[in-house]
Chains A and B, each alone.
Chain A
Amino acid sequence: NAGVTQTPKFQVLKTGQSMTLQCAQDMNHNSMYWYRQDPGMGLRLIYYSASEGTTDKGEVPNGYNVSRLNKREFSLRLESAAPSQTSVYFCASSGGGSGAYNEQFFGPGTRLTVL
Chain B
Amino acid sequence: GDSVTQMEGPVTLSEEAFLTINCTYTATGYPSLFWYVQYPGEGLQLLLKATKADDKGSNKGFEATYRKETTSFHLEKGSVQVSDSAVYFCALFNTGGFKTIFGAGTRLFVKA
B46 within 8 A of A: yes
Kindly identify which residue among A40, A42, A107 contacts B43, using a CB–CB cutoff of 8 Å. Answer: A107
Q: Which residue of A lies closest to B33 (CB)?
A: A101
Tell me the number of A-to-B contacts counted with CB atoms below 8 Å.
56
Any A CB within 8 A of the CB of B69? no
For chain B, which range describes its interface: under 10, 10 to 19, 20 to 34, or 35 or more residues? 20 to 34
Determine which of B43, B96, B103, B105 lies in contact with A98 in the assembled complex, contact meaning CB atoms within 8 Å: B96
Interface string of A1-43 (1 = CB under 8 A from B): 0001000000000000000000000000001010000001111
The answer to whether A106 touches B44 (Cβ under 8 A) is yes
Select one of A31, A102, A106 contacting B45, CB under 8 A.
Answer: A106
**Contact digits for B28-66, partner A, Cβ 8 Å, 1 yes 0 no:** 000010101000001111100101000000000000000
Within 8 A of B (CB), among A48-95: 48, 50, 56, 58, 90, 92, 94
Determine the residue in chain A with the shortest Cβ distance to B44: A106
Interface size for A (C-beta < 8 A) is: 27
Contacts of B32 in A (CB 8 A): 101-102
**Whole-angstrom CA separation of A102 from B99 in the bound complex:** 9
Q: Which residues from 75 to 96 on chain B have a C-beta closer than 8 Å to any C-beta of chain A? A: 89, 93, 95-96
What are 9 sample pairs from A and B whose C-beta atoms fall under 8 A apart?
A40-B104, A43-B44, A90-B43, A90-B44, A92-B44, A101-B49, A103-B34, A103-B46, A107-B43
